[in-house]
Amino acid sequence: MSGGRVSLYRHVYTEAQKNEDGYGDVFVSTNQVDTNMLAANSRYLAFPFESRGGGSFGVLKVGGSGKVGTNAPLFSGHKAPVLDVAFSPFNEDIIASASEDATIRLWKITENNGKVESQHDKQIASLTGHGRKVCRLAFNAVVNNCLASFGFENSVKIWDISKGVAVSTIKGTNQQFLDINWSQDGNRLVLPAKDKKLHVYDARAGTETFAVPSHPNIKGSRAVFYDKLHYIFTTGFSSQAARQIILRDERNPEKTLQTEDVDYNAGMLIPFMDSDSGVVFCFGRGDTGAKYYELREDAPPIMSLAGFSLQESIRAVALAPKTCCDTSICEIDCFYAVTNSKHLIHLPMIVPRRNAECFQSDIYPDTLAPEPSIELDAWKSGEDAQLKLISLENYERPQAAGSFQVQEQEDPAVVREKLDEALKTIEANKARIAELEAELKQLKGE
């Protein structure tokens, strides 16, 4: 997979943080569900915590070190294990957790004397509506307060987290969904499923745009958009159980642009799309490294880049927002990983440059701002967002998070159910009143 123009990112490498400089004894959940098991932003790192009984997740501060163990600040309250966690892209103190108890909870992270405070049943909202366990969460990076989730009952819900309600529900295929991701314009959702098809939905209309045959093995699959070139990049398994990558153009999704068998490792390849550079980083739980590819218009459209390897395997991985990158070392993407020895380390993806201290504008195009480009109500009514972009040159992250409140409202479906029950009661009461009036007339001899 080579040829065509020379890539700016061909020699991307990582300088993995030493174990002793990061966190140790990080007890990430050993649940076999296929999630990343880690989330990151510029302030915090969160992970489903390995515990018995009810569900909890831990939150650590970025830049810390030392053994964590059972002293991790825990957020608990779910009645079953936590399967996924996700940070709001616009407020770094807000985090969502998904659980086997069929609920999503929203939490506001607080600190006391510079330390994250544990919380028990102190969620700011509980989102209910899924019929079975909630498998995955995905915040919309364009639309304010917009969170997508899918449950084991195969429904996709889009939530307004400022109101604590689902604004729409998409009933999916009869086969289990495996992954969920937003397009960069915030309008579409991609969900591979166990029916061996790739499903794309118009998130606002709640309709399926297309469903096409994908990887032939039902073992698992992941998918990400690359809007700039109208691409969808997927990972999965071949009929011979080889790990496989497929690239297709949304405008002609039935025809694949390129299909490659990667290797025969067992772990699902997790793709992380850098939509600024066109580089997709593929990690696998249980792997000792990662593989990088650049997506391009030239042939072949998937170009293999330099990967990296560690001394031990990876148990969990997360990509922090682009604004977390240290441009003074030409870090183009900021990853964190928990290794098999329970160490949580920083993995900066670096482009080698001689004058790294000078801002390298060719590898840092303007990137999506960490603020909403459109409000949810306007987006839902059909307005398209004008994406807010910023330069990373001399960029300074806000020192304080914005305010956030949830004005909880009942789910419209629950309100309708209650109304139907009330109407039935009214009709039953009317019938009973008529019966009593008839009995009264008989007693009076009328």
pLDDT tens for 288-341 read: 999 999 999 999 999 999 889 999 999 999 999 999 999 999 999 999 999 999
pLDDT for position 53: 66
- Percent of the residues in the chain that have a pLDDT greater than 70, as a whole number: 92
pLDDT for position 417: 60
Structure pTM?
0.88
| Mean pLDDT of the 122-136 span | 95
Q: Which residue has the higher pLDDT, 85 or 402?
A: 85
**Measured between alpha carbons, how far is 49 from 81 in angstroms, rounded to an integer?**
8
Condensed to tens digits (0 to 9), the pLDDT of residues 388-444 reads 999 999 988 766 555 666 775 555 555 566 566 667 777 888 888 888 777 777 777
pLDDT grade for 2, boundaries at 50, 70 and 90:
very low
Condensed to tens digits (0 to 9), the pLDDT of residues 10-67 reads 999 999 999 999 999 999 999 888 899 999 999 999 999 998 666 999 999 999 999 9
> Where do the domains of the chain lie, and which CATH numbers do they carry?
13-409 (2.130.10.10)
pLDDT for position 1: 45
| Mean pLDDT of the 334-357 span | 96
Condensed to tens digits (0 to 9), the pLDDT of residues 226-268 reads 999 999 999 999 999 999 999 999 999 999 999 999 999 999 9
Compute the 3-state secondary structure of the chain and give helix, strand, coil in percent, each to the nearest 5: 10, 40, 50
Condensed to tens digits (0 to 9), the pLDDT of residues 366-381 reads 999 999 999 999 999 9
* Mean pLDDT across the chain: 92
Condensed to tens digits (0 to 9), the pLDDT of residues 180-235 reads 999 999 999 999 999 999 999 999 999 999 999 999 999 999 999 999 999 999 99
Residue 90 has pLDDT above 70, yes or no: yes
pLDDT for position 411: 54
